[in-house]
Copies of this chain bind each other. A is one copy, B any other.
Amino acid sequence: MYKLGEKITPDQAKRFAIETAKQGRGFVAPNPLVGCVIVDKNECFLAAGAHLRFGEAHAEINALNAVSDEGLLVGATLYVTLEPCSHQGNTPPCAKRLAELPIKKVVYGIADVNPQVSGQGLELLKLHGKTVEPFEQYQAECRELVEQHHFHVQHQRPFMALKVGASFDGKMALQSGESQWITGEESRIHARQLRGHYDATMVGAGTLQYDDPSLDFRDTSFADQKQNKIVILDPKGRACEDFQSKTLFEKHDAKNIFVLTREEHMQKWAKNLVHVIPWEASSRGWELALKNLYQKGISSLYIEGGSFVYGQILTHGLAQKLYLFQSPKLIGEGMSWTHYFKNGSLQEVPELKNWQSLPIGSDRLHIAYF
């Protein structure tokens, strides 16, 4: 945190804009995360702001509102992680507001991909005599802030991330089926926190039957702050009968639960008052089901297993991101988390990109992209 009037370098301002953007995590969808820092003509900190909740003010406006006197903006520089918007949405266009103010320069992280915005915000600012510059660093960080948004705007389906907890040797369970717990408590809390960064969590019917998870936010910063949506993949309708005895049913409103199942099992699920969405184990079946979820307001999906679900997502190439919590335990023979994913040759095997790895308790969290 910087104090009003404190000296701040351009590099610090960029990094602080990125950190500030993260304040909106989990609450801005389907909008992107955006952070903004305003620095006066003497390179002193004036204000910061983030887009905090969908429907509320954008980052630039929150930062501007924190400036007590418009006179302070004369010659100021505004750092913003994403190109300012140029269209009327829930809120008026930010680029227009900025254009009218006496600020001198706008430094932006990345351009928007939204066709209603892309480049136009920057053009408007230039037309009004502002200097406009991109960040020269931190592109990857800025892209990460908007990854869910950019993906769903371009593809009209949810951004999907696999969350896996596995042993050092990639197993989710012993041969006996025992699986609790392979990863440590810090990892499990961290994984629940990440759950909050997504609109919805997906699990398979097997996980529901055997683990009876609550899939809630209990010990995270999202507890009592957010209702998450649940997607259940139940091809054969087998989780339907005793669903009302499950922890999931007790902890979540039925209106927040979405079941993907084959057409012939849809009817029997309806009695549980959840959303029931037709699904088939094919690329086309997935495409339709995901579009359906997207139309129902799910713009990002956090996939928590089990192995059949992972296999489906991998086989159909549906995920964009992977979180693997790797524990130091060596299980040996057991259930690999990629057991249901088949490849004929090394040439066709997918290769993860932008792989980062960090310690979490005695485990490691690997984050990578498909």
Contact = CB atoms under 8 A, between A and B. Distances in A.
Interface in A95-141: none
A368 interface: yes
A314 B332 contact: yes
Contacts of A345: 174, 176, 178
Interface stretch (A151-159, A218-226, A351-359): A351-359
A338 B176 contact: no
- Give the bracket for the number of chain A residues in contact with chain B: 35 or more
A169 interface: yes
Given A336-B169, A336-B170, A330 B357 contact: no
Interface string A330-370: 11111011111111111001111101010100101010100
A327 to B, nearest CB: 8
A338 B332 contact: yes
B350 A330 contact: yes
The interface residues of chain A, by DSSP majority, are classed as loop
A362 B349 CA distance: 15
A337 B368 contact: no
Given A169-B170, A176-B344, A343-B174, A331 B349 contact: yes
Given A170-B336, A357-B357, A328 B343 contact: no
Contacts of A167: 349
A175 B352 contact: no
A145 interface: no
Interface in A299-343: 311, 314, 324, 327-334, 336-343
Contacts of A330: 314, 338, 341, 349-352
Contact of A351 (B329, B343, B357, B359): B329
A294 interface: no
A182 interface: yes
B343 A332 contact: yes
Contacts of A176: 344-345
A54 interface: no
Contacts of A338: 169, 171, 330-333
A306 to B, nearest CB: 15
Nearest to A370: B330
B328 A333 contact: no
A368 B328 contact: yes
A168 interface: yes
A169 to B, nearest CB: 4
A74 to B, nearest CB: 46
Contacts of A349: 167, 174, 329-332
A1 B336 CA distance: 47
A353 B332 contact: no
A242 to B, nearest CB: 27
Contact of A332 (B181, B341, B366): B341
Given A346-B178, A364-B357, A333 B329 contact: no
Given A357-B357, A364-B355, A339 B329 contact: no
Given A169-B336, A329-B351, 17 more contacts: A168-B352, A168-B366, A169-B338, A174-B344, A176-B345, A179-B346, A329-B350, A330-B341, A330-B351, A331-B349, A332-B338, A332-B349, A333-B336, A333-B339, A333-B343, A334-B343, A355-B362
Which 6 residue pairs are nearest across A and B when measured between Cβ atoms? Answer: A170-B170, A332-B341, A328-B352, A332-B338, A169-B338, A169-B170
